[in-house]
């Protein structure tokens, strides 16, 4: 599946996501400079992305635990998610996300 990532420096990059892997894992595998300090254990908020509005219905809203972590970010928006919690799956082909400053390494 294709994921288009906008970086804080204005660049965009297309990444291939493998079904069953998290979006965060796909970004790391593609060499995107994402902090993701906890490695996907949902113990930090350093894989914070903004999901494009047209994708939120398919991606879904964060659960309570993820939402609590997102509250730690100065950059949280209505469409914020931790990309370690978004699993790559065929219906997300074409997903558009923006990596936030607090997740950019």
On whether the pTM is more than 0.85, the answer is yes
Domain of residue 26: give its range: 2-103
Count: domains in the chain: 1
Q: Which two tokens stand for residue 60?
A: 């879904």
Q: Work out whether strand 95-99 and strand 80-82 pair parallel, antiparallel, or are unpaired.
A: unpaired
In tens, the pLDDT along 58-95 reads 999 999 999 999 999 999 999 999 999 999 999 999 99
Q: What is the CATH number of the domain that holds 72?
A: 3.10.20.30
The answer to whether 46 and 37 are in contact (CB under 8 A) is yes
Q: Could you give the percent of the chain with pLDDT greater than 90?
A: 97
């Amino acid at each position: 599946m294709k994921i288009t990532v906008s970086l804080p420096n204005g660049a965009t990059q297309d990444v291939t996501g493998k079904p069953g892997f998290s979006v965060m894992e796909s970004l790391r595998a593609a060499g995107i400079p994402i902090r993701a300090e906890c490695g996907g254990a949902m113990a930090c908020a350093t894989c914070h992305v903004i999901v494009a509005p047209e994708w939120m219905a398919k991606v879904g809203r964060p659960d309570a635990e993820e939402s609590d972590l997102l509250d730690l970010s100065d950059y949280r928006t209505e469409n914020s998610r931790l990309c370690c919690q978004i699993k790559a799956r065929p219906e997300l082909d074409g997903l558009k996300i923006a990596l936030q400053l607090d997740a950019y390494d």
